[in-house]
Amino acid sequence: MTTAEEHKSNGIRKDLAIYVCLLALAGLQFVIAYQNIDASQMFKRMLAVACVEAGLGALFFMHLWTEKRGFLLFVAIFTIAVLLGMQYGWTDSTRMVVGAPFSK
């Protein structure tokens, strides 16, 4: 086997291993969904598993794992900033539904 064929074979094995991990995490979410726990516990567990799944997908299938650490840090900080910005905007949409608080 040449080095190019070995590299391609190792890449496919790694992608397949990550894919199997994602399938296992999806199965874990199915198990969590059918547990007899309260909603806040289920939300925390599902969110944790979803974050791990998203991280694996971004790191390996978007090839962020092979990028420089600075770029990886930038993507992580930017993603967190966008999510926090969305959180800030949702409170305004609630005001539109219920009205401005303390306006009476």
pLDDT digits (tens, 9 = 90+) for 14-54: 888 888 999 999 999 999 999 999 999 999 999 999 989 98
Structural domains of the chain, count: 2
Residues 28 and 47 in one domain: yes
Residues 50 and 73 in one domain: no
Rounded CA-CA distance 66/84 in Å is: 27
> What sections of the chain are H helices per DSSP?
3-33, 39-56, 69-98
Say whether pLDDT at 5 is over 60.
Answer: no
Residues 59 and 82 in one domain: no
What is the pTM for the complete model shown? 0.64
Residues 99 and 57 in one domain: no
Question: Do the beta carbons of residue 60 and residue 15 sit within 8 Å?
Answer: yes
